[in-house]
Chains A and B, each alone.
Chain A
Amino acid sequence: MKDKQSKGAANLQANYKINTGHTAIPKTYKLYIGGAFPRTESGRYLKMKNKKDNSILNISHGSKKDFKAAAAAARSALGGWAKRTPYNRAQITYRIAEMLEGRKMQFVAELEAAGVSKNEAQKDVEAAIDLLVYYTGWADKFQQIYSTVNPVSEPYFNFSTGVPVGVVSVIAPKESGLWGFLAAFIPAFVGGNTVIVLAEEKFSACAISFAEVLNSSDVPGGTINIITGKRKELLAPFTTHMEVNSVILYTEDKTEIIAVQESAAVNVKRTSIRHFADEKQSPYLIFETLETKTTWHPMGGSDGGGAKY
């Protein structure tokens, strides 16, 4: 045994070719919280292998406390984001698409590193860009589909509008690296909510790279927060935290659904259980992240008559 090993090591060394040109520097993948890239407070990491070049990368193994920080960031960003005009939210969403388009090749590579074929990766990234453009359009239109003016029987002007539900936890689907990741939270984001997204573990690198896109797209810090780590471990903080108003969960796993929906009851969180195979894109996915607010206001009028002498 011992001999064999040292022999192998000797071979490795003998066969090694030094790169005399530029040495690539691998990226440190951190979390994305409150518009910054902190390391996980836990100091833990998940080792991942680049399936394309077999290099090793360390992904932040996020913790309950990281989620807590993200929830605080999401809550404090909520007021400002919800107050932005829909037109402005649309422009920011479009800006994300622009930034992504410019870095398409990077994401194809990230997906390939996660084991997706080049062809599939390309399709996925292009679909993600199209998704952003699709929801850009909805940002300043969904309200017109959602809202009603209600013809009440008393002299009141009465209308109902959709307002953001608040801080939304999102558990991204396992099936898709970029498109599925975005499809999970962009509708909530466009609706004026702030989100904390748990990336699918194997696509963690891709998700954090996407945070860089967000960071250069005028997206206010804290509106989209991205955590990487172990789904099993993080499901609880994502769904029990009292600051969270709604949970979006992509899953096919019944036990996960039960766990999440039971946790949600602690503060009457809304839950959207979604399946990757279901509706791809739709304003109804925005609607799921809205509350209906109905306003009544008396209608005045003249109190005098028109009669004259």
Chain B
Amino acid sequence: MAKKENKNIADLKFGATIEYAPAPESNAHIEIKKKYELFIGGEFVAPEKGKYFPTINPATEEKLADIAKADATDVDKAVKSARYAYDNYWSKISGSQRGKYLFRIARMLQERAREFAIIETMDGGKPIKEAKGFDVPMAINWFFYYAGWADKIEYAVPGKNPEALGVAGQVIPWNFPLMMAAWKIAPALAAGNCVVLKPAETTSLTALKLAELIQEAGVPPGVVNIVTGEGDTGAAIVNHADVDKVAFTGSTRVGKMIQKSLAGSGKKLTLELGGKGANIIFEDAAIDQAVEGVINAVYFNQGHVCCAGSRLFVQEGIAETVLQKLKDRLKTIRIGNPLDKNTDIGAINSKKQLDTVQDYINIGINEGGKLYQDKCSLPKKGFWCKPTIFTNVSQASRVVQEEIFGPVLTVQTFRTIDEVVELANNTYYGLSAGVWTDKGSKVFQVGNQLKAGVVWANSFNKFDATSPFGGFKESGFGREGGLHGLTAYLK
């Protein structure tokens, strides 16, 4: 194994032979307007108060566009238009007709995939490799999958004569802006609802581009409304009296506020909140693939992933080996210009988030954690954080307990199955977990005991439109994806 028996053996050296030259994805033909309005009733309309806020490229800190700030009046207009569309158009056509609009959205997204990927990368800071290879294809997958459900709703909930709820208010986060919009809009529309969706304030662009596409696809006006803004805009949607269903993805803190504010309202609620995923490597695992899995688990999308495998548990006998391999692997990770095709880790989404991550890194150090970061250089402008590993941490450490939402991994060791199950479950979250072992029975033994909505065996951060996703405990309730994701939009 890679565990060094002789300390004189030099570490492997990386990066001198192949210096990847910049390979930027051309954004020459990408059009970003100077100003984006609200998408209400099938049209782009200026906000009542005429207020706008800038959206910037976190990799360059340059302004990309001004985004309309919707207030309660705008939200009210959007909800009314959704209600009108529901009453007059969407509930009047058959499921098979509804489905065709969704198929059309999926196809048009496919045609314009590259454009969406580039804008996603510019607005959010994620590597183009991921925007192109993950975010956009997933969004398409979601629309295509749910399109086919539209005329088969009665089979989703046998014996119940399921019906649409009406108007759904949806609030999404900044980590997967387009994909989250698709996760929300596709099942809602397939089930027969109309929606008012608010993208996160730092990443409104692809949702607004999607609005353009939805307009071009000929979706009846008001079926989808997209209002941009900050937390107060979201609150106005969630608390609007004529909203029948609320779907929120974001922090547990805000999730709890929403749950409380909806008490007694009768609105159907689904919450997809934070996480602190355990990633468990047993001695009998495929070690090199497990190490790669750790990289996918915690550094994917700069660690801005609610289901990130941010807590690594390694069985003691292989702990040194795994750490050596992880450190070697970090040496080949490239951080920088998100539009560069060779970039593995892009920019942190915002200054605010960078501060949060940095605070946690400092907390980790102050708690006695041993920090490891590779000696890579970071661009001067923009918001960046090196992939970080903390050893010498324990369950009591805040960096182990709290969701950091950045590229920070904590490593702990364990001896037995019982011990690691207890450690893994020792959290108020319950979104995801990973189990690495070559022994099938152990996968199920451990997987069954883990209190997590998604268990990735010998893998991590895998998603599919057919696969239900969502959490236990304070990671929220309800599922997105698959049959279970559809029922969240039915009564």
Restricting to A266-309, which residues have a CB under 8 Å from any CB of B?
266-268, 270, 282, 284, 291-298
Residue from the list B273, B469, B484 in contact with A148, Cβ < 8 A? B484
CB-CB < 8 A to B256: which residues of A? Answer: 265-266, 268
A245 proximal to B (CB < 8 A):
yes
CB nearest neighbor in A for B484? A292
Docked complex Cα distance between A257 and B252 (Å)? 22
Using CB atoms and an 8 Å cutoff, list the residues of chain B in contact with chain A.
Answer: 141, 157-160, 252, 255-257, 259-260, 262-264, 271, 273, 428, 443, 447-448, 452-459, 462, 464, 466-470, 472-477, 479, 482-484
CB-CB < 8 A to B447: which residues of A? Answer: 295
Docked complex Cα distance between A260 and B443 (Å)? 38
Chain A to chain B: the 3 pairs with minimum beta-carbon distance, closest first = A261-B263, A258-B264, A152-B464
| Distance of B338 from chain A, by nearest CB (Å) | 24
| Distance of B397 from chain A, by nearest CB (Å) | 21
Contact A268–B453 (Cβ < 8 Å): no
| Distance of A267 from chain B, by nearest CB (Å) | 6
**How many residues on chain A are close to B (CB under 8 Å)?**
37
19 A/B residue pairs, CB under 8 Å, sorted by A? A148-B482, A245-B473, A257-B264, A259-B263, A260-B263, A261-B259, A261-B262, A264-B259, A265-B256, A265-B260, A267-B473, A268-B259, A268-B474, A291-B453, A291-B472, A293-B452, A294-B453, A294-B482, A295-B456
Q: Given A152-B462, A296-B457, A297-B443, 5 other A-B contacts at CB below 8 A?
A: A257-B264, A259-B263, A261-B260, A265-B263, A268-B474
Docked complex Cα distance between A178 and B470 (Å)? 36
CB nearest neighbor in A for B454? A294
Contact B264–A148 (Cβ < 8 Å): no
Contact B470–A268 (Cβ < 8 Å): no
Contact A262–B260 (Cβ < 8 Å): yes
| Distance of A74 from chain B, by nearest CB (Å) | 16
CB-CB < 8 A to A291: which residues of B? Answer: 453, 472, 477
Docked complex Cα distance between A284 and B141 (Å)? 29
CB-CB < 8 A to A265: which residues of B? Answer: 256-257, 259-260, 263
Contacting chain B: which of A38-46, A154-162, A208-216, A217-225? A154-162
A153 proximal to B (CB < 8 A):
yes
A102 proximal to B (CB < 8 A):
no
Interface centre among A150, A158, A165, A296 (most CB of B within 10 A): A296
Docked complex Cα distance between A258 and B475 (Å)? 22
CB-CB < 8 A to B158: which residues of A? Answer: 145
A27 proximal to B (CB < 8 A):
no
Contact A150–B472 (Cβ < 8 Å): no
A151 proximal to B (CB < 8 A):
yes
| Distance of A184 from chain B, by nearest CB (Å) | 20
CB nearest neighbor in B for A298? B458
Docked complex Cα distance between A282 and B157 (Å)? 12
CB-CB < 8 A to A2: which residues of B? Answer: none
Contact B468–A267 (Cβ < 8 Å): no
Residue from the list A148, A153, A255 in contact with B141, Cβ < 8 A? A153
Contact A292–B459 (Cβ < 8 Å): no
| Distance of A251 from chain B, by nearest CB (Å) | 11
CB nearest neighbor in B for A161? B448
CB-CB < 8 A to B459: which residues of A? Answer: 156, 296-298
CB-CB < 8 A to B252: which residues of A? Answer: 268
A4 proximal to B (CB < 8 A):
no
CB-CB < 8 A to B273: which residues of A? Answer: 268
| Distance of A44 from chain B, by nearest CB (Å) | 30
Contact A295–B455 (Cβ < 8 Å): yes
Contact B262–A296 (Cβ < 8 Å): no
CB-CB < 8 A to B141: which residues of A? Answer: 153
Residue from the list A150, A261, A295 in contact with B482, Cβ < 8 A? A150
A154-B477 contact given A293-B453, A296-B459, A298-B458, CB 8 Å threshold: no
A254 proximal to B (CB < 8 A):
yes
| Distance of A303 from chain B, by nearest CB (Å) | 13
Docked complex Cα distance between A158 and B458 (Å)? 12
CB-CB < 8 A to B157: which residues of A? Answer: 284
Docked complex Cα distance between A163 and B470 (Å)? 13
Contact A268–B271 (Cβ < 8 Å): yes
Contact B462–A156 (Cβ < 8 Å): yes
CB-CB < 8 A to B259: which residues of A? Answer: 261, 264-265, 268
Contact A292–B479 (Cβ < 8 Å): yes
| Distance of A244 from chain B, by nearest CB (Å) | 11
Docked complex Cα distance between A270 and B474 (Å)? 10
Restricting to A136-178, which residues have a CB under 8 Å from any CB of B?
145, 148, 150-154, 156, 158, 160, 163, 165
Docked complex Cα distance between A255 and B468 (Å)? 34
Contact B160–A150 (Cβ < 8 Å): no
CB-CB < 8 A to A293: which residues of B? Answer: 452-455
